[in-house]
């Protein structure tokens, strides 16, 4: 699965700067496929040092990291749910994403006018949440009519869904995000099928000034506190610095990072935080043609992991050959791992662990 994240933000918060930095992959600086699907969608790699460690022992033609698809649409404005700005086109694009990356302005710059006249992250977040909730009201209304029709047939399932949709609809009408509604696990799974923007997990991205790196400022502290209450994620970055880093080859970034007290570009942290927020992990396949990271949900069984490569792998799954990176670094090769009896054969009930190196046997 490719992780897809939609960037949401008011105008002049640094959203486009961060998007351009995210998608400024240089061929000489990284060995991964990069593409721009259209001017507003980019595919960027998830940094994972384990790939290079695998390559030390398995020579290959190419190394392919897991990817995040980043969707950037023009700044959201008040009234977007009613068609202001890009309106519904913007909102429709973000319905297809797995999470919302909410860019929040946490810097003061007299040369960059704030759309509301002053810097106030809490107010900005409220505006965005309200616009997304209002857009979701329309979606919920359509679902409500459908559920009412199903309930009239006397179906037990229809009546249960109607009760759930009514609860969600009332919550959205009050201007609150669907993700803040108390639901059971089963209800949450059902709501996930509604296509609601506000049901998606949120990662707040606080764009601070250069002087506020690496820990942020009072504004970003407010966002952190809000995120903690909501169970959301937070990343602190400076769009200007990330743009500078993106222009440099990876080997030349050290001094600039160190000058701001950073160990790595914040965009690497952002990608990993998206994984954590969505409960995702990676496993690897490794051979002469390629070493590759594949994205799966935590708790996925071996057939599901195989299906990420190709649906036929899942349908015809027989078993998986599995070993760990620690095994590879200790024994030096797959051949040596097998000789040492460390190559495991796992069946359909095997829960894939983060970092497993796997080969699948299947029959279609």
Same domain, residue pair 175 and 247: yes
Flag whether 293 is in a domain.
no
* Co-location of 133 and 202 in the same domain: yes
Task: Tell me how far apart the alpha carbons of residues 88 and 135 are, in angstroms, rounded to a whole number.
Answer: 8
Q: Do 64 and 193 sit in the same domain of this protein?
A: yes
Strand-strand pairing, 3-8 and 35-38: unpaired
The mean-pLDDT minimum among 221-225, 242-246, 350-354 falls in: 242-246
Q: Which of 26-35, 51-60, 63-72, 103-112 has the highest mean pLDDT?
A: 51-60
**Token match 């409500």: residue?**
144
Asked if 340 and 305 sit in the same domain, the reply is yes
pLDDT in tens, 15-47: 888 888 877 643 323 333 334 445 577 777 888
Number of H helices, E strands in the chain: 14, 13
> For the chain, how many structural domains are there in total?
2
Shared domain for 129 and 248, answered yes or no, is yes
The verdict on residue 59 lying in a domain is yes
- Claim to verify: residue 45 and residue 172 sit in the same structural domain: yes
* pLDDT of 139 higher than 50: yes
Q: Which residue among 246, 278, 310 closes a domain?
A: 278
* Cβ partners under 8 Å of residue 248, min gap 6: 29, 256
Confidence of residue 117 (pLDDT cuts 50, 70, 90): confident
Task: Note whether 63 and 186 are same-domain residues.
Answer: yes
Averaged pLDDT score across all residues of the chain: 88
361 has which bridge partners? 319
Please indicate, yes or no, if residue 34 is contained in any of the structural domains. Answer: yes
User: Does 148 share its domain with 208?
Assistant: yes
Q: Give the N- to C-terminal CA distance of the chain in Å, as an integer.
A: 21
Cα 100 to Cα 4: distance, rounded to the nearest angstrom: 9
Q: What is the CATH number of the domain that holds 356?
A: 3.10.20.30
In a domain, residue 177? The reply is yes
DSSP 272-308: HHHHHHHTEEEEEEE-SSEEEEEEEETT-BHHHHHHH
241 shares a domain with 129: yes
Out of 9-18, 34-43, 174-183, 272-281, pick the least confident.
34-43
What's the average model confidence in pLDDT over 164-177?
A: 92
Per-residue pLDDT of 312-344, as tens digits, reads 999 999 999 999 999 999 999 999 999 999 999
Instruction: Kindly state whether residue 285 falls inside one of the protein's structural domains.
Output: no
Whether residue 274 is found in the same domain as residue 314: no
Q: In 10 A of CB 198, how many CB atoms?
A: 27
- Inside any domain, residue 283: no
294 close to 309: Cβ distance less than 8 angstroms: yes
Cβ pair 76, 85 in contact under 8 A: yes
pLDDT at 80 over 60: no
Number of neighbouring beta carbons within 10 Å of residue 243: 16
- pLDDT for 95: 64
Retrieve residue 203's tokens.
């990662």
328: helix, strand or coil = helix
Residue 83 pLDDT: 53
Q: What is the pLDDT of residues 226-269, one digit of tens each?
A: 999 988 999 999 999 999 998 998 889 999 999 999 999 988 88
Both tokens of residue 237? 């970055």
Strands annotated E in the chain: 3-8, 35-38, 41-45, 62-64, 67-72, 99-105, 202-207, 233-237, 280-286, 290-297, 317-323, 344-346, 357-362
Are 172 and 137 a contacting pair, CB within 8 Å?
yes
CATH number for 244: 3.40.50.300
**Residue 292 within a domain:** no
Cβ 124 vs Cβ 104: under 8 Å: yes
pTM beyond 0.75: the answer is: yes
Q: Helix 15-22 vs helix 239-246: angle between axes, to the nearest 10 degrees?
A: 20
Residue 267 belongs to what domain range? Answer: 3-278
CA distance 28 to 33: 12
């Amino acid at each position: 699965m490719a992780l897809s994240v939609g960037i949401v933000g008011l105008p002049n918060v640094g959203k486009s700067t961060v998007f351009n930095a995210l998608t400024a992959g240089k061929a000489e600086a990284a060995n991964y496929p990069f593409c721009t699907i259209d001017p507003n969608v980019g595919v960027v790699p998830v940094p994972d040092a384990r790939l290079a460690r695998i390559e030390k022992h398995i020579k290959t033609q190419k190394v392919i990291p897991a990817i995040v698809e980043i969707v950037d649409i023009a700044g959201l404005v008040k009234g977007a749910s009613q068609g202001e700005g890009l309106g519904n086109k913007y909102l429709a694009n973000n319905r297809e994403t797995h999470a919302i990356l909410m860019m929040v302005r946490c810097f003061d710059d007299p040369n960059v006018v704030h759309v509301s006249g002053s810097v106030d992250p809490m107010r900005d977040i409220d505006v965005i949440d309200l616009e997304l909730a209002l857009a979701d009201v329309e979606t919920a209304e359509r679902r409500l009519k459908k559920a009412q029709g199903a309930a009239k047939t006397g179906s037990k399932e229809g009546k249960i869904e109607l009760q759930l949709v009514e609860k969600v609809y009332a919550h959205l009408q009050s201007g609150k995000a669907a993700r803040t509604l108390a639901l059971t696990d089963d209800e949450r799974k059902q709501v996930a099928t509604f296509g609601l923007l506000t049901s998606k997990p949120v990662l707040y991205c606080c764009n601070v000034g250069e002087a506020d790196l690496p820990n942020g400022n009072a504004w970003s502290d407010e966002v952190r506190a809000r995120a903690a209450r909501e169970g959301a994620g937070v990343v602190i970055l400076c769009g200007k610095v990330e743009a500078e880093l993106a222009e440099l080859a990876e080997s030349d970034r050290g001094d600039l990072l160190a000058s701001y007290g950073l160990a790595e570009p914040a965009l690497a942290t952002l990608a990993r935080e998206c994984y954590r927020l969505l409960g995702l992990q990676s496993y690897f396949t490794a051979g002469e043609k390629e070493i590759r990271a594949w994205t799966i949900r935590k708790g996925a069984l071996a057939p599901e992991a195989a299906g990420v490569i190709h649906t036929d792998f899942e349908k015809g799954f027989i078993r998986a050959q599995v070993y760990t990176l620690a095994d590879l670094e200790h024994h030096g090769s797959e051949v040596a791992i097998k000789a040492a009896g460390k190559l495991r054969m796992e069946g359909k009930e095997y829960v894939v662990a983060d970092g497993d190196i796997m080969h699948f046997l299947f029959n279609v």
